[in-house]
């Protein structure tokens, strides 16, 4: 029983990271109906930005986190502006291929700048406590609490503010939104920026837990987060969080109780089964047809 609880706690930590990345996929899909396949690599960029902030600039944890989020947000905005915006009315497959290309570009750029894996310095002292037989570490608490705050903040932004309203309006009808005075391009840029910043936060948290980072770390994690977004219902903020938590828990439990080589197999099998049962994901709704 305590073993199960322990694994669920570890699953919550991993799931929080997936959830943060999944939010970026789901936000961009929500607003542009486009899958930003470069998003997993922004997670990696976030981890490297943390490395630069902490190791090169010598900043402490919180400023390093903020710097990583801001720098990655700027890169996310730039990618949209330079690579995706010119293709906005092109066939969707062009945008997907471009996104894959941008991802490869980011991986190779970082690889060129940093050919060897990097070790992120220890930024947080790691205490652990044992509660009812379950070991909980201070890094785990940081990750889960900060991820929770970011998720809640985003949910409030999207559902309770005018900017969020504008994002939802653009998602429904991008051509009519300007007639409300909404600067559509600026809101789309902001969406990419926020998604990238959340992905960067995930990269930072990941590097806290697994401090060896390399330019390809975003590939598999990115796929898992993408699966999370789809499982939860792509386009749905709450679905992305739910999907991330489910995937994190499933993965850790599979690794704990089955041969660990089955981990990714189960993740992808989950995607396939769910897509058959619920093509729109758990919280996703089929898009109503526009009148």
Partner 1 sequence: MNAPFLQIRDLEVAYGRICAVRGISLEIAEGEIVTLIGANGAGKTTILRAISGMVPYTGSIVFGGMDLHGVPAHRRVALGIAHVPEGRGIFSNLTVAENLSLATWGRRDRLGIKADLARVHALFPRLAERAPQMAGTLSGGEQQMLSVGRALMSRSKLLLLDEPSMGLSPILVRDIFRVLREINATGTTILLVEQNAHLALQLAGRAWVLQNGRVELTGPAAALAGDPRVREAYLGG
Residue numbers at the binding site for partner 1 (CB under 8 A) = 162, 165-166, 168-169, 171-173, 175-176, 178-184, 288, 290-291
In whole angstroms, how close is the CB of 166 to partner 1 at the nearest point?
7
Least Å from the CB of residue 209 to partner 1: 37
The residue among 125 and 175 lying less far from partner 1, judged by its C-beta, is: 175
Smallest separation (angstroms) from partner 1 to the CB of 94: 19
For the bound state, the minimum distance from the C-beta of residue 190 to partner 1, rounded and expressed in Å, comes to 14
Nearer to partner 1, 82 or 173 (CB): 173
- Measured from the CB atom, the residue of 143 and 182 that comes closer to partner 1 is 182
Looking at beta carbons only, is 127 or 159 nearer to partner 1? 159
C-beta closer to partner 1: residue 173 or 279? 173
Contact (Cβ atoms closer than 8 angstroms) between residue 41 and residue 222: yes
Least distance (Å) between residue 170 CB and partner 1? 9
């Amino acid at each position: 029983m305590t073993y199960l609880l322990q694994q669920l706690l570890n699953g919550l930590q991993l799931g929080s990271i997936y959830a943060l990345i999944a939010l970026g996929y789901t936000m961009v899909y929500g607003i542009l109906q486009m899958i930003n396949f470069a998003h997993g690599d922004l997670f990696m960029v976030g981890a490297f930005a943390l490395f630069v902030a902490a190791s090169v600039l010598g900043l402490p944890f919180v400023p390093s986190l903020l710097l990583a989020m801001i720098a990655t947000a700027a890169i996310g905005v730039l990618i949209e502006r330079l690579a995706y915006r010119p293709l906005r009315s092109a066939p969707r497959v062009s945008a997907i291929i471009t996104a894959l290309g941008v991802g490869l570009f980011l991986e190779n750029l970082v690889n060129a700048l940093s050919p060897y894996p990097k070790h992120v310095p220890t930024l947080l002292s790691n205490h652990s406590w044992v509660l009812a037989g379950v070991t909980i570490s201070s890094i785990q608490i940081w990750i889960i609490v900060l991820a929770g705050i970011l998720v809640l903040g985003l949910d409030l932004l999207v559902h309770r503010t005018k900017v969020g309203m504008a994002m939802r309006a653009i998602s429904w009808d991008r051509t009519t939104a300007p007639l409300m005075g909404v600067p559509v391009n600026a809101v789309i840029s902001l969406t990419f920026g926020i998604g990238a910043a959340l992905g960067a936060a995930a990269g930072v948290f990941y590097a806290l837990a697994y401090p060896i980072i390399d330019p390809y770390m975003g590939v598999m994690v990115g796929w898992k987060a993408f699966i999370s977004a789809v499982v939860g219902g792509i386009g749905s903020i709450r679905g992305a969080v739910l999907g991330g938590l489910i995937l994190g828990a499933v993965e850790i439990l599979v690794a704990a109780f089955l041969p660990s080589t089955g981990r990714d197999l189960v993740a992808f099998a989950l995607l396939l089964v769910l897509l058959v049962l619920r093509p729109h994901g758990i919280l996703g709704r089929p898009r109503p047809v526009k009148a």
